[in-house]
Amino acid sequence: MSTNTKFRLKGKGKDSYLELVLAFPLASIRGENHFAAAQDVMDRLLKKNRLDEGELLYLDALSDLVASYEDEHHAIAPASDADMLRHLLEAKGVTQADLHRKSGLPKSTISEVLSGKKPFSRQMIRKLSEFFHVDVTVLAANL
């Protein structure tokens, strides 16, 4: 089957791409051993100082296949509200008292969220989003 496309690899890029495909074909990941082998191929490519066009194209495609497998078989649950707030405080170097003073959030509410007794409210998400300069969707994962 021949298709006429404007996208074509030429020269060394075409050669390296084809060599990689022959050594490790681009196909849906079918199990943990295949997954581990794909990760090894990616690691070897990422350790190279420079990749040519063919290697970059291959790595991009293989990364998509690995990510798809990971999403289906190694899904990571969203962080709890307490973990998220703890991370933001640590990353910004802010104390609970600083957050209270600068955001207007009650100290008790901050403590209850950090202890896992209370989830984020919509109002709290809005204030935290403004304070930490993050998108509200980052904080609203558990709503």
Q: CATH: 1.25.40.10, 3.40.30.10, 3.40.718.10, 1.10.260.40. Which one for 81-139?
A: 1.10.260.40
Report yes or no on whether pTM surpasses 0.75. Answer: no
Summarised one tens digit per residue, pLDDT across range 19-41 is 999 999 999 999 999 999 999 99
Q: What is the Cα–Cα distance from 128 to 7, expressed in whole angstroms?
A: 45
User: What pLDDT does residue 143 have?
Assistant: 75
Domains of the chain, by residue range, sit at 11-73, 81-139
Full DSSP string of the chain: -----S----HHHHHHHHHHHHHS------SHHHHHHHHHHHHHHHHSS---HHHHHHHHHHHHHHHHHHHHHS--PPPPHHHHHHHHHHHHT--HHHHHHHH---HHHHHHHHTTSSPPPHHHHHHHHHHHT--HHHH-TT-
How many residues are there in the chain? 143
| Arithmetic mean of pLDDT, 40-52 | 94
User: What pLDDT does residue 6 have?
Assistant: 61
Summarised one tens digit per residue, pLDDT across range 94-129 is 999 999 999 999 999 999 999 999 999 999 999 999
User: What pLDDT does residue 76 have?
Assistant: 84
pLDDT value at 8 more than 80: no
User: What pLDDT does residue 1 have?
Assistant: 53
Summarised one tens digit per residue, pLDDT across range 60-98 is 999 999 999 999 999 888 889 999 999 999 999 999 999
